[in-house]
């Protein structure tokens, strides 16, 4: 999978990302909304939708994990609502 020098909330397809729970994932679709489709490497490897606000790090061009993830206003609003519900 490709990596990125800069994090771009509008074009993450192909990035290797780290979720809040520590699982790694490859982004398979665009992350313009509050969810994106990923291949997640957890207990099992599977594809599915994840919340974009659960992405906490990504790999840069040198293969290092970067945590300077920025979210869109709609992604932050979704996170706030999920936090309020205890998710």
Mean pLDDT of the chain: 82
What was the pLDDT predicted at 31? Answer: 61
Question: Residues 31-65: pLDDT tens digits?
Answer: 667 888 999 999 999 999 998 888 899 888 788 99
Domain limits of the chain? 16-84
Name which of 24, 83, 15, 28 is nearest 53 in CA terms: 83
Q: Give me 25's structure tokens.
A: 């994932």
Average pLDDT over residues 1-28: 72
- Full 3-state SS string of the chain: CCCCCCCCCCCCCCCEEEECCCCEEEECCCCCCCEEEEEEECCCEEEEEEEHHHEEEEECCCCCEECCCCCCHHHHHHHHHHHHCCC
pLDDT at 74: 83
């Amino acid at each position: 999978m490709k990596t990125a020098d800069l994090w771009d909330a509008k074009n993450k397809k192909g990035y290797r990302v780290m979720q809040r729970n520590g699982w790694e994932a490859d982004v398979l679709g665009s992350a313009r909304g509050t969810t994106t489709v990923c291949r997640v490497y957890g207990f099992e490897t599977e594809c599915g939708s994840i919340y974009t606000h659960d992405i906490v790090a990504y790999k840069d061009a040198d293969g290092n994990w970067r945590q300077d993830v920025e979210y869109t206003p709609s992604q932050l609003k979704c996170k706030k609502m999920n936090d309020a519900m205890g998710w």
